[in-house]
Chains A and B, each alone.
Chain A
Amino acid sequence: MADSKHTEAEIIQARERLARAFTRLSTLVAGIPERIQTLERSRSDANNRVKEAQTLLEKERAINAQRDSLSESAKEQLQIAEERIRDGQSLVSERDASIAELHSTLSSLEKELHKRDMELASSKENVLSLEERMLGLQDENMQIVRQLEELREERDRATAELQNKKSDEDAYALKFTRDERQQLLKTVDSLIQRVDELTSPNGHH
C-alpha cells in the first residue's frame, strides 16, 4: 500500500513535471508564429540581399570581363611596345656603333688636324723664312739692279769711249798698233758679254 502511494506520488510529480514541460512548450510554441514571421522577414531580407549580391556579382563579373578584355588589349599593346623597344634598342645599338665609328674617325681627324696644325706651323715658319729670304733676295736684287745700272753706265761710258776710241782710231789710225786695237776690242767684247749676262732672265742671283 505504501509502495502504491509512493508510486502515485511519483506519478503526480511526473505529471506536474509533464505539465510544466507542456506549459513551457506551449509558451515556446505560442512565440513560434511571431518567431516564424521574424524569420520570414529575415529570410525575405536575406533573399533581397542575396539578389542584390547576385546583381552586384553580375556587375562585378561584367566589370571583370571588361577588365580581362582590357588586360588582353593591354597585353597586345605591351607586346607591340616591347617589339618597338627591341627595334629601338637595335637602332640604338647601330647608332652606338656608328657613334663609336664616328668617334674613331673624329679621333683620327683630330690627329690629322693636329698633324696639319704642326705642318701649318712649320709652313708658317717656312713662309716667314722664305719671306725673310725674299726680302734678302729683294735687297740683293736691288743691289744687282744698282750694279746693273752702274754696269750700264759703265757700258755706256765704255761705248762712248769706244766711239771716241774708234773716232780717234779713225782719226789716228796710225797711232795704235795692231795689238793695241785687238786689246781694245777684247775689252769691249768682255764688257758686252757681262752686260748681257746681267740682263738675261737667268742672270739674276
Chain B
Amino acid sequence: MAESVKVTILGSDYSLRTNDESMLREIAAELDSELKDLQNKLPGKSPTTLAVLTALNSAESLVHNQSHELRETNRLASEIEGLCDELEKVIAGK
C-alpha cells in the first residue's frame, strides 16, 4: 500500500509516494546530507548545480556499485557452483 511521505531536501519539501517509508526517509536524509556537504564545499552554487553534481556522484556510485555487484555476484555464484561440485563429488564418492 503506497503512501505519501513528506521529506525535506536542501530546505525544500517534497511529497513522495512509497511502500517503504523508512527507506525513503533514509535515502532523503542521505541526499540532503550530500547536497549540504557539497553546498558547504561550493558556496554560491545554485541548487540545480548542486543537484546535478550530486546526481553525477550518485550515478558514479551506482555504476561502481553495479560493477561491484556484478563481480561479487559472479564470484559468489562461481564459489557456490564450485562448492556444489565438491559436494556432489563427495556425495558421489560414497
Contact = CB atoms under 8 A, between A and B. Distances in A.
A194 interface: no
A99 B11 CA distance: 144
Contact of A10 (B70, B80, B88): B70
A28 B73 contact: no
Contacts of B62: 4
B37 interface: no
Nearest to B76: A18
Contacts of A118: none
Given A8-B66, A10-B70, A38-B94, A24 B77 contact: no
B94 to A, nearest CB: 7
B91 interface: yes
Contacts of A4: 62-63, 66
Contacts of A24: 80-81, 84
Given A10-B70, A18-B80, A25-B80, 11 more contacts: A4-B63, A7-B63, A7-B70, A8-B66, A17-B77, A18-B77, A21-B81, A24-B81, A28-B84, A35-B94, A42-B94
What are the 10 tightest A-B residue pairs by CB atom distance, in nearest-first order?
A14-B73, A21-B80, A18-B77, A17-B77, A28-B87, A21-B77, A24-B84, A7-B66, A14-B74, A21-B81
A78 to B, nearest CB: 53
A93 B67 CA distance: 107
Chain A interface SS verdict (over half): helix
Contact of A17 (B63, B66, B74, B94): B74
A153 to B, nearest CB: 153
A11 B70 CA distance: 5
A7 B67 contact: yes
Interface residues of A, number: 22
Interface centre among B63, B80, B94 (most CB of A within 10 A): B80
Interface of A: 4, 7-8, 10-11, 14-15, 17-18, 20-22, 24-25, 28-29, 31-32, 35, 38-39, 42
B83 interface: yes
B20 interface: no
Contact of A22 (B74, B80, B87, B88): B80
A14 B94 CA distance: 32
Contact of B77 (A14, A29, A35, A38): A14
B69 interface: yes
A115 B28 CA distance: 156
Contacts of B87: 25, 28-29, 32
A28 B80 CA distance: 11
A21 B70 contact: no
Interface string B22-34: 0000000000000
